[in-house]
Amino acid sequence: MKMKMSAQNMDRKGRKHGREIVRSFLVLLTAAFLLASCSEEDDMPEPITVLTSLNEYTSIDETTGVIYVEDLPGSVGNTFASGHVPVFYNLENYEIINPYNDEDILLELPEEQRLSIDWDVAFTSIYNSYVRPNNGSVESNPAYGGEGKGSMIVIDALFDELDLAPSDEEFDAFMAKQSASGWEDFPPGDKGWYFYSLDSHIMSAISGVTIVIKTPEGNYAKMEMSSLYLGSPENPTVNTPAPYFTFRYFLQSNGSRDLRTQ
């Protein structure tokens, strides 16, 4: 929130009196300082998650099958003015399918691949912040004209507690309203996974938002976005490198709607 928002007798009695007042003040002050410096840190120990590394950016919790992606570079080295190359991600192979040049700069995905079902999730638009499914029938979708019949829905639910993918009707109803999810309420009414502070000019992920993806192959996945800033700092600044994706997801590869991970 930018809330711009003395004629006295100098007798001994008086001095003694003053001393008493000050003494009580001292006691109060000491108490205040002590209270203020004692912090309530009796947190419960956090449950331990053991992760197995899959590649430089990816690891898996083998007990649940949840894949953790940290600081995966998107179309880095760009600003709004230069634009961000859409990033295409394959959930099954946990990799970006875009080509790279010799300097490790991410390049545009050739059209035929965009229209293919080689990818499940696209990170598009400003700072690669809008998540889209692979759907060839949506005009604004990078796969427009392609075969993909993927879909998405954004739900206020905890990632760990979302056990079942919604019905096709729910997916369709969501896709009829919006076909991408980025900034909350922008365009107005859209369900987003992050919000952008007009004070700090920083984007923050909204906690308790889960994106459910239906892949073009007909599988369901749940996904939780955490940060687009390198290192996911608690207080990024406008100069913190971005976009670097940090998110986790679970892909149910047997085609069922069962998304339990607990």
Burial (CB count within 10 angstroms: exposed 0-12, middle 13-18, buried 19+), residue 119: buried
| Residues 6 or more apart in contact with residue 91 via CB below 8 angstroms | 67, 120, 121, 213, 215, 221, 249, 251
Tokens representing 28 are: 């109060």
Q: Is 49 in the site for another protein (CB under 8 A)?
A: no
Q: Is 48 in the site for another protein (CB under 8 A)?
A: no
Q: Is 188 in the site for another protein (CB under 8 A)?
A: yes
Residue 20 to residues 6, 13, 37, Cα–Cα distance (Å): 19, 11, 26
Task: Tell me how crowded residue 190 is: count the other CB atoms within 10 A of its CB.
Answer: 17
Query: Taking CB under 8 A as the rule, which mask of x and - marks residues 66-95 in contact with another protein?
Result: ----------xx-xxx--------------
Q: Is 101 in the site for another protein (CB under 8 A)?
A: no
* Contacting range for another protein; rule: CB under 8 A; set: 56-64, 131-139, 141-149, 201-209: 201-209
**Binding residue for another protein (CB under 8 A) from 125, 149, 170, 257?**
125
* Contacting range for another protein; rule: CB under 8 A; set: 47-55, 85-93, 107-115, 226-234: 226-234
Q: Is 209 in the site for another protein (CB under 8 A)?
A: yes
Burial (CB count within 10 angstroms: exposed 0-12, middle 13-18, buried 19+), residue 120: buried
* Contacting range for another protein; rule: CB under 8 A; set: 52-60, 89-97, 156-164, 250-258: 156-164
Q: Is 262 in the site for another protein (CB under 8 A)?
A: no
Quote the CA–CA distance of 245 and 259 in Å, as a whole number: 22
Angle 241-247-252 from CA coordinates, rounded to 5°: 155
Parallel, antiparallel, or unpaired for β 130-133 and 121-124? antiparallel
Contacting residues toward another protein, per CB under 8 A: 1-8, 10, 14-15, 17-19, 21-22, 25-26, 29, 32-33, 36-37, 39, 76-77, 79-81, 105, 125-126, 156, 158-159, 184, 186-188, 195, 197-202, 204-209, 230-231, 233-242
